[in-house]
């Protein structure tokens, strides 16, 4: 039976600036949880420290800069249909085949807006969306495409990507702005009536409606405006609520469509736990 709960714990030594900017980063070594039954990565050779389940159900392997990583940190991870794992770091985009790390940065990939990778998203068409500290770019089979709104301004670090079945997306930024990608066009939406400059977590429900969540606020995009759906002021935990597939947000169980598309990620006292 495959394990369904993962726990990653750091020693509590993350710099405060990093904690505020990109949550979920594990410093002090680069612990890639290569759960073979989930990611399907065949490791032809192993270096560094590793921890293996005696029954062969999972493997935890530790790689660091001496193994080819640009730095000992990761902001995000996705797997493309060809089997490669892609990692975002603050010093470049990394592609991993189970043996070799290939690093993309400004020196060898001028189309990349910045070496600092804030977030990654693989859309339904297989395109890799790369949010950097100074702009947004999409990688697909025919090359790299810079994504900007009509005013030409660069898009800041993206906190969450939410995608509808037909490919439209909602992008929420760490510092508050919200954009939607519809008909190959990126447009900024009005700010929800939550706490300004604090950022939101976004999702699309089963009907395709946009939702945003913030500590103390849940809103839905309806007829060109954000509607407040419930008061979460009393539910704000000593941690972070984030979007992941197939679970629920605290307090959102009574909202149709939301409970089935969002999960809860709580980060108390220097640990990160996800449950699906």
Tell me the average confidence (pLDDT) per consecutive run of 10 residues in the chain, 276 residues long. Answer: 32 34 37 38 45 73 82 90 93 92 96 96 96 96 93 95 95 96 96 89 92 90 90 45 34 36 32 30
For position 142, what pLDDT does the model report? Answer: 82
- The answer to whether 164 and 204 have CB atoms below 8 angstroms apart is yes
Look at residue 253 and give its three-state secondary structure: coil
Q: CATH no. for residue 166?
A: 2.130.10
Buried b or exposed e, range 22-53, using 16+ CB within 10 angstroms:
bbbbbbeebbbebbbeeeebeeeeeeeeeeee
- Please say whether the dihedral angle defined by the alpha carbons of residues 46, 47, 52 and 57, taken in this order, is positive or negative: negative
* Alpha-carbon distances of 51 from 26, 30, 60, 232, rounded to whole Å: 17, 14, 5, 40
For position 250, what pLDDT does the model report? Answer: 31
Q: How many domains does the chain have?
A: 1
Residues 6+ away with beta carbon under 8 Å from 47:
63, 67
For position 229, what pLDDT does the model report? Answer: 86
Look at residue 68 and give its three-state secondary structure: coil
Buried b or exposed e, range 149-182, using 16+ CB within 10 angstroms:
beeeeebbbbbbbbbbeeeebbbbbbebbbbbbe
Q: Which domain holds residue 135?
A: 5-275
């Amino acid at each position: 039976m495959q394990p369904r709960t993962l726990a990653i714990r750091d020693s509590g030594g993350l710099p405060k600036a990093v904690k505020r900017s990109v949550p979920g980063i594990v410093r002090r070594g680069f612990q890639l949880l290569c759960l073979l039954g989930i990611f399907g990565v065949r490791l032809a050779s192993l270096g560094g420290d590793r921890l293996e389940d005696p029954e062969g159900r999972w493997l935890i392997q530790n790689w660091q800069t001496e193994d080819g990583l640009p730095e000992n940190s990761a902001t995000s991870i996705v797997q493309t249909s060809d089997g490669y794992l892609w990692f975002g770091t603050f010093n470049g985009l990394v592609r991993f085949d189970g043996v070799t790390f290939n690093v993309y940065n400004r020196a060898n990939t001028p189309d990349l807006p910045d070496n600092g990778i804030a977030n990654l998203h693989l859309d339904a068409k297989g395109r890799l969306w790369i949010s950097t500290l100074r702009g947004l770019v999409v990688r697909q089979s025919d090359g790299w495409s810079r994504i900007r709104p009509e005013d030409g301004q660069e898009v800041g670090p993206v906190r969450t990507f939410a995608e509808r079945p037909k490919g439209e997306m909602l992008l929420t930024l760490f510092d508050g702005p919200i954009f939607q990608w519809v008909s190959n066009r990126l447009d900024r939406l009005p700010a929800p009536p939550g706490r300004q400059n604090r950022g939101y977590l976004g999702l699309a429900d089963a009907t395709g409606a946009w939702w945003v969540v913030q500590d103390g606020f849940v809103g839905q995009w309806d007829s060109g405006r954000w509607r407040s759906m419930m008061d979460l002021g009393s539910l704000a935990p000593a941690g972070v609520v984030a979007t992941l597939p197939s679970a629920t947000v605290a307090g959102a169980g009574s909202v149709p469509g939301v409970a089935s598309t969002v999960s809860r990620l709580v980060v108390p006292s220097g640990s990160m736990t996800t449950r699906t």
